[in-house]
Structure 1
Amino acid sequence: MTGLSHLDESGRARMVDVSDKPATARTATAVGHLRCRPETLARVRAGTTPKAAVIETAELAGVMAAKRTAELIPLCHPLSLTKAAVRIEIDEALPGFRIEAEARTTGPTGVEMEALTAVTVACLTLFDMLKAVDREMEIGGIAMTSKSGGQSGNWGR
């Protein structure tokens, strides 16, 4: 089990000790999508879905989720985020919604999980708000697109 930071010497799960790591500026971005029927997009554009403000509500849900990531992921460190943003755009070609999230902090550990959680919960919120009009929706493509800061440096897809 050597080399796995979330396991102790006996193979038990543990939170990584980041006490001695320097605080640095860290950023992470993630993406995902929700595929739906073209008719569903038309109803969102027209504001005729049973639940109003679909995109705005899902963006807010994603931000709220980023702030609570440590409550959802057992070994994730609670972080003081300096930024959490979610942007949702309609993509007629998909058809569906493209979701992008960005999380930032200055601290000893990264914000990848916060960005991924924000995208995932935004997708789930869109699904919840639109399930009455479209049962064939599909969530997918959730992935990190970039991260910066920390010992491992910058990375981008």
Structure 2
Amino acid sequence: MDKLSHFDDAGQAHMVDVSAKAATRREATAGAFVELSDAVLAALPQNPKGNPLEVARFAGIQAAKQTSTLIPMCHPLALSFVDVQATVVAGGVAIEATAATTAGTGVEMEAMVAASIAALTVYDMTKALDKSIRIREVVLLRKSGGKSGDYRR
């Protein structure tokens, strides 16, 4: 394994200089799972705060655009596309977030932040019904572009 890219030879954290990298199309998709009880799943359509899945989608999109303000060494990126889907499945809500850009660095963190914040928003919108909701499996599902090439979980 190569050395961690966010540390210099003295061990100090720094932002990686990507100015020499070619601007190419890069895309990443991340997922998260919000484990909900059957009672909470049944109550989703009647939520007095509104549709939790739509609010989660919007929160994830908004969060992706704020990634560099949340994670210190992330580069601010002009995102060309962000999509967040929240789908009711057995045992909870599956979230999938995709971010894309044309830049000298990737968008994995933007996709991961979008999925994470969407999951936290589902929690926020349903916590009145059950405090034991669990967010799990926040993962990078796939990425394309850049020097390291394609990845698929």
Residue 105 of structure 1 is matched in structure 2 by 101
Once the 2 structures are TM-superposed, how far is the Cα of residue 3 of structure 1 from its aligned partner?
2.1
Which one of the candidate residues 76, 79, 89 is aligned to 1:78? 76
Superposed CA deviations along residues 41-91 of structure 1, whole A, max 9, x for unmatched, are 1111xx322311211000000000000000000100000000011000001
Residue 90 of structure 1 is matched in structure 2 by 88
Residue 55 of structure 1 is matched in structure 2 by 53
Once the 2 structures are TM-superposed, how far is the Cα of residue 141 of structure 1 from its aligned partner?
0.8
Please give the alpha-carbon distance, in whole angstroms, between the structure 1 residues aligned to 2:9 and 2:104.
Answer: 23
Asked if residue 122 in structure 1 is aligned to residue 118 in structure 2, the reply is yes
Question: Secondary structure of 1:115's match?
Answer: helix
Gapped regions of structure 1 (runs ≥ 5):
none
Residue 11 of structure 1 is matched in structure 2 by 11
Question: Secondary structure of 1:76's match?
Answer: coil
Once the 2 structures are TM-superposed, how far is the Cα of residue 9 of structure 1 from its aligned partner?
2.0
Instruction: Judge conservation of contact 1:89–1:98 (CA < 8 Å) in 2.
Output: yes
Once the 2 structures are TM-superposed, how far is the Cα of residue 145 of structure 1 from its aligned partner?
0.7
Question: Secondary structure of 2:55's match?
Answer: helix
Residue 64 of structure 1 is matched in structure 2 by 62
Please give the alpha-carbon distance, in whole angstroms, between the structure 1 residues aligned to 2:39 and 2:30.
Answer: 27
Superposed CA deviations along residues 91-142 of structure 1, whole A, max 9, x for unmatched, are 1x2x110000000000000000000000000000000110001111000011
Gapped regions of structure 2 (runs ≥ 5):
none
Give the total of aligned pairs. Answer: 152
Residue 43 of structure 1 is matched in structure 2 by 43
Please give the alpha-carbon distance, in whole angstroms, between the structure 2 residues aligned to 1:20 and 1:70.
Answer: 20
Alignment identity in percent? 47
Question: Secondary structure of 1:116's match?
Answer: helix
Question: Secondary structure of 2:136's match?
Answer: strand
Question: Which stretches of structure 1, 4 residues or longer, exceed 2 Å deviation after superposition?
Answer: none
